[in-house]
Amino acid sequence: MNCRHCGTPLIQTFLDLGFAPPSNAYLTKSDLNRPETYYPLKVKVCEQCWLVQTEDYAKADVLFTSEYAYFSSTSSSWLAHAKQYADAITKDLKLNSESHVIEIASNDGYLLRNFLVAGIPCLGIEPTDSTADAAEQHGIPVLREFFSESLGKDLTTQGKQADLIAANNVYAHVPDINDFTRGLKAALKPNGTITLEFPHLMRLLEYTQFDTIYHEHFSYLSLYTVHRIFTFAGLRIWKVEELTTHGGSLRVYGCHINDPRADQPSVAELLQREKDHGLQRLQTYAEFQPRADRIKNDLLSFLLEQKLKGKKVIAYGAAAKGNTLLNYAGVKPDLLPLVCDAAPAKQGKFMPGSHIPILPPDKLYSANPDYVLILPWNIAEEILQQNSTLKKQGVRFVTAIPQLAIL
């Protein structure tokens, strides 16, 4: 396999998580009687441009189907994050009724509804029918396609270039990252702005967030690599912000390479910090596998210990990251009998690979657990607040990453 960006042959394995089904391929009861497709989950690092990337096995149209079960609006903290961004960017860019906003991977309209309310024309681009349906119910126009350079050029031909292109947590999901980035350039007005949000590779390394690795994530991104990809496409990153979302993310601000806006100091400062953290040293990546194995082993030891003691452990949050963790650890319903989740699209289904049943949040109370394992550790605080009554009753909450912790 060659690097998806620069074409360099990939030699160095960053992490090998064995075999797993796609992390968002939730199962119905009838699916349990059918064979389940597993793909190798192995991650390589390019020694030339330092793009960390999964090996090529699963195709995007297999991973992002009409039944895609991730709905952004399920998390109240993510909705608040989206509104804060929309309010700020509208003010900063002076967006109004004559502007045009495009969001790529608009999901269920969690972000664009803020622009719609403000009277700013917008368009969502979203290939999964389940989430696009939800967005259209809010009155948001949606183009049901995968974004590409070809689509970006089509939008330009139709007079639909954007003053703002927003793309949150999609850049890592793109199999052809060069084509996608050229599409951003094609769909952007001459003085337009691009903002991308994506989990920061530096934080993944720092906090051993290996559960954020799954087939739907083709790439794991640093500012250094994204800076290179943008430059290659004729774009420029002129500003970057560090966010707390998803365990530590970046929001990069892009423009055409000849845009008059000057680069802000934040760009050079973060590029230097990444270098200081060893993101351009092979040894940094070679040392990661044992750290992931330690987390896996600690979780298994905890679950086995509680089972031997007669204690009951259940989980909260049927997140994709939880599926990576549970499948790598080989956890099945004998150790974790159920997981609760607030998303109606997941309730009544089963976790891929582990086949753990997914039930509504009220089951947290009737199940009488001793411990609740929070799988989406990035919103642990939100989950704890929502279930403060359980904690007062003596139920202990647990996270496994960056290390096993009883909260």
| Counts of helices then strands in the chain (DSSP H, E) | 15, 17
For every one of its 407 residues, what pLDDT tens digit does the chain have, with 9 covering 90 and above? 999 999 999 999 999 999 999 988 999 999 999 999 999 999 999 999 999 999 876 565 555 554 545 677 777 888 999 999 999 999 999 999 999 999 999 999 999 999 999 999 999 999 989 899 999 999 999 999 999 999 999 999 999 999 999 999 999 999 999 999 999 999 999 999 999 999 999 999 999 999 999 998 999 999 999 999 999 999 999 999 999 998 999 999 999 999 999 999 999 999 999 999 999 999 999 999 999 999 999 999 999 999 999 999 999 999 999 999 999 999 999 999 999 999 998 999 999 999 999 999 999 999 999 999 999 999 999 999 999 999 999 999 999 999 999 99
Closest-CA residue to 104 (of 199, 52, 173, 17): 173
Which sequence spans correspond to the domains of the chain? 146-285, 288-406
Q: Are 158 and 192 in contact (CB under 8 A)?
A: no
Distance CA 24, CA 35 (A): 16
The DSSP bridge partners found for residue 197 are 168, 251
What pLDDT is attached to residue 63? 52
What pLDDT is attached to residue 56? 75
Is the model's pTM score more than 0.85?
Answer: yes
CATH T-level fold of 146-285: Rossmann fold (3.40.50)
Both structure tokens of 184: 């951003």
Return the CATH superfamily for domain 288-406: NAD(P)-binding Rossmann-like Domain (3.40.50.720)
What pLDDT is attached to residue 57? 67
Phi and psi (nearest 5°) for 330? 75, 30
Q: Are 255 and 230 in contact (CB under 8 A)?
A: no
Q: Are 146-285 and 288-406 the same fold in CATH?
A: yes
What pLDDT is attached to residue 70? 62
